Amino acid sequence: MPQVSFTDADGGVRVIEATPGDSVMETAVRNGVPGIVAECGGSLSCATCHVFVAADDLPDLPEMDEMEDEMLYGTAVDREENSRLSCQLPVTEHTDLHVTTPATQV
């Protein structure tokens, strides 16, 4: 079963079984993961689902498009090389993803 491991800014880890076809953001919201606000509900217009993806997992993700890249410049915590918006990360049958949420989203 696909899973996403969410590490919060304080180091706490929560592993969630995910549903293929959902996004990482939808998985977080559905399971009450702290640190994912998702104000826009996944419409790529708020950047409040910012996560830092584990370096080993980055090659397995789809390429970042121009709109996501632009939105990452508006995050509450500065973006890093491994920053992504979790609404743009699809869950597949083979997902085993590790992300860290920033200290704040707003």
What is the total count of domains within the chain?
Answer: 1
* Within-domain flag for 19: yes
Name the nearest CA neighbour of 6 among 32, 29, 25, 33: 33
pLDDT tens digits along 51-61: 999 999 999 99
The per-residue pLDDT for 52 is 98
The per-residue pLDDT for 27 is 98
Name the nearest CA neighbour of 24 among 46, 53, 63: 53
* Within-domain flag for 42: yes
Q: What is the CATH number of the domain that holds 28?
A: 3.10.20.30
* 41 — pLDDT class (breaks 50, 70, 90): very high
Classified as helix, coil or strand, 8 is coil
Residue numbers of the domain that contains 74: 3-100
* Within-domain flag for 72: yes
pLDDT tens digits along 65-97: 999 999 999 999 999 999 999 999 999 999 999
**Average pLDDT along the chain:** 97
